Amino acid sequence: MTVAAKDLTKDYKYGFNDGDEFVFRATKGLTRETVIDISRRKNEPPWMLEFRLKALDHFRQRAMPSWGADLSGIDFDDIYYYVRPADEQGRTWEDVPEGIKRTFDRLGIPEAERKFLGGVSAQYESEVVYHSIRKDLEKLGVLFSDCDTGLRDHPEIFRKYFGTVIPANDNKFAALNSAVWSGGSFVYVPKGVRVEVPLQAYFRINTESMGQFERTLIIAEEGSFVHYIEGCTAPTYSRDSLHSAVVEIIAMPGATVRYTTIQNWSNNVYNLVTKRAIAKERASVFWIDGNLGSKVTMKYPSIYLMGEGAHGEVLSVAFAGDGQHQDAGAKIIHVAPNTTSNIVSKSVSKGTGRTSYRGHMKVYPKAHNVRSSVRCDALLLDESSRSDTYPYMDIEAEDVQIGHEASVSKVGDEQLFYLQARGISEAEATAMIVNGFIEPFVKELPMEYALELNRLIALQMEGSVG
């Protein structure tokens, strides 16, 4: 078993763990008592406990999804649902327990914070252990905290929006998250405020068999702008962990929200995430979603274009290595007229890796003059690699313009030869072709993340040839 775990770590540089780092850990398995205990430890108001318990009922009643990836390996009884890593949340890195701080150092978070971020949140297991926001943003009334703090310190805003975009009974994993959620981010941007530097949240799983259920709620008031970035890693273990987040975004009229994910889970993590945004009149929402790693990912960021002139984009990249399945996609619902959307999905499968694109596009009868374009491209690196596309369209309006293009290609012999003939090794040539393939995605990222992504891809590519 140890050997297997080591093998998995080969290409994954975040696979280290810190040993036991916690002050409290609930017993494994999910019971009513666990949920009550989590709520009590957090001193939550009664409505939240009620919300959690209802969600738990729903989770229990709801069957596992019969479509998508193979989830039969998940053992809900073999998971820690709540692990509290530290007593206090740090305001400076010195306040963070040494072992945990070292981990975030290794992940480069404090450095990134100094260089180009407006705020940082670092979640370890179930709780956010470090949090900061730049003073100038705070002065403008921007709120950025973990979700628990949002509930405690800003109950009026929080309760108004929490669970309105993704109700607890939306799907089995949203229900699970609603029952045991902890941590995540609460972001509130007041009217007209433009947050020009990104806010970043970093999610780290440390314990084996951990369940991480962060919850994120982003509210961008009229005419505001915010760019939120999340990154995720976990150690490599032989037992599986579960990451099941819920992210809700509300973009008020004229607001713009960019949500960027660079997920790089180790390949023993089931990553089952529900992400949904509501865009009001002339609002724009961008999901920029990079999925590397994990054992199985099921994630379909969605945007409900509720107000006239709203715009939504989902740009995603999925990279499935040996034994991994990235079942990702996008969902766009055009409810209002003159709304526009754009989906670009790029997937790369290597070895026995498998990618699936699952798209859902709906246009309501009253949504006149909708324009939408969908493009999904898959790149296969090996004979054993696999990719499937499941586009689903439900168009009830008449004057819509929808373009759909899909392609599946193999890394071409001619491209490889051309690069090699110029002195570039086969491995590097393959990485260049892959990086070129995902370039339309990468150029949407801030430079630091673009470099990081290229580096991660290069790591994944190592040993893929010769």
DSSP code, position 399: S
Quote the least distance from Cβ 98 to another protein, whole Å: 39
Distance of alpha carbon 392 from alpha carbon 16, whole angstroms: 40
Q: How far apart are CA 317 and CA 193, in angstroms?
A: 30
The smaller minimum CB distance to another protein, of residues 428 and 448, is found at 428
Closest CB 263 distance from another protein, rounded Å: 21
Q: Which residue carries 């990235």 as its tokens?
A: 326
Contacting residues toward another protein, per CB under 8 A: 412-415, 417-426, 428-429, 432-433, 435-440
Q: Which is nearer to another protein, 384 or 420 (CB)?
A: 420
To another protein, the closest distance from the beta carbon of 439 in angstroms equals 3
Q: Tell me the angle at which helices 172-180 and 32-41 cross, rounded to the nearest 10 degrees.
A: 50
Smaller CB separation from another protein, 167 or 440: 440
CB nearer another protein, residue 395 or residue 419: 419
Structure tokens at 447: 């430079």
CA distance 438 to 288: 12
- Residue 43 half-sphere exposure toward CB, CA atoms < 13 A: 5
- How buried is 61 (Cβ within 10 angstroms: 0-12 exposed, 13-18 middle, 19+ buried)? exposed
User: Token digits for 153?
Assistant: 């310190």
Q: Which is nearer to another protein, 83 or 433 (CB)?
A: 433
Phi, psi of 34 (to 5 degrees): -55, -45
Report in angstroms how near the CB of residue 438 gets to another protein at its nearest: 7
Q: Considering the complex, what minimum distance in angstroms separates the CB of residue 436 from another protein?
A: 3
- Provide the token pair at 142: 């921007």
Min dist CB 145 to another protein, Å, is 39
Q: Interior CA angle at 184 toward 182 and 188, to 5°?
A: 125
Tell me whether residue 400 or residue 419 sits nearer to another protein (CB atom): 419
